[in-house]
Amino acid sequence: MPPAFVINLDRSADRLAFIKEQAGAVGLEFARIAAVDGTAVPSWLRSQFLDDDGKPVSSLIASEIGCYASHLVVHRRIVQDDLPWALVLEDDVHLEQGLVATVEAAIAVAPAGWDYIHLSGLVRRTVFSLSALPNGRHLARHTRIPTNTGGYLISRSGAEKMLVPGTRIRPIDQEFRFPWVRDLDVLAVYPSPVIWSDHMPTTIDWRGLPKRDFGVRRSKLRERVYAIRKLGLLGYGQCALADLRRTVERRLLGRSSGAVTVVCSSAAPLH
Q: Would the pLDDT of 200 be above 80?
A: no
pLDDT attached to residue 202: 59
Q: For 89-148, what is each residue's pLDDT tens digit? A: 999 999 999 999 999 999 999 999 999 999 998 888 999 999 999 989 999 999 999 889
Is this structure's pTM higher than 0.85? yes
Q: Give the whole-angstrom CA distance, residue 123 versus residue 120.
A: 9
pLDDT, mean of residues 68-78 = 98
Arithmetic mean of pLDDT over the chain: 89
pLDDT attached to residue 215: 63
Q: For 31-70, what is each residue's pLDDT tens digit? A: 999 999 988 999 999 999 999 888 999 999 999 999 999 9
Q: Which of 92, 55, 78, 115 is nearest to 4 (CA)?
A: 78
CATH number of 4-206: 3.90.550.10
